[in-house]
Amino acid sequence: MEVPRELVIFDCEMSGTDPRFHHIIEIGAVKIDTHTGELLGTFVRLVKFPFGAPYEKEALRITGFDYTRWKQYAIPLTASLREFKQFIGSAGLAAWGCATDIEFLSAACRKTGVELNLDEIFDIQTVASRWGVRRKLSAAAETLLIATSLFHRATVDAVVTACIFCKLFGLDISEALQKCLGTDFRSTLRQLKQTRGNSNESVNWCAQAV
């Protein structure tokens, strides 16, 4: 697969492991120039999921799920996917070990009617493993001397994967991308909330999950 000039490297966090019962709770991504390593944009959305929906406690623990944070910043799945599609634009897609993400995104697209082109996704994990890099994202980052302590946050994992891509393809990690390794993107979520306004604050956050 030929790597396009603009590449959106994404990650999803879920409430469990089975797309039949569990839900995407966070979508994160970065867009980079694959010729220069320049950071072209970042994307982070916390996603509402239905009240009473089944979940796996371990999955929520690993992803750092915080009810207060999701209640404050999460938006419906349809809006999240539409905005993700807009962010992607004409860029290609890439991820670290993308099979599970594709399963959940495909299920979400069927449910909402939002169309994403998931047929050609560049799997950076597969490329890295061919070059002897360990398959676990945190282990790969350690091997390649990419430092962050915030794994299992969707946008941070996307940033780490973008840094790995740069290392594998001989690109300098841009200063902007490097700075993203140390943030949890709370300020971005606050700015998004301010942009949307506070008109729906009194609405049950789980009631409009789709």
User: How does pLDDT run across 6-33, given as a tens digit for each residue?
Assistant: 999 999 999 999 999 999 999 999 999 9
- What is the distance between the alpha carbons of residues 39 and 174, in angstroms, rounded to a whole number? 7
The fold of the 6-196 domain, in CATH, is Nucleotidyltransferase; domain 5 (3.30.420)
- What is the distance between the alpha carbons of residues 29 and 49, in angstroms, rounded to a whole number? 20
pLDDT band, very low/low/confident/very high, at 204 (cuts 50, 70, 90): very low
| Token pair 């492991």 in the structure block, residue | 17
pLDDT tens-place string over residues 45-64: 999 988 788 999 999 998 88
- The domains of the chain are located at 6-196
pLDDT tens-place string over residues 65-113: 888 889 999 999 999 999 999 999 999 999 999 999 999 999 999 999 9
pLDDT band, very low/low/confident/very high, at 205 (cuts 50, 70, 90): very low
pLDDT at position 2: 83
DSSP 17: S
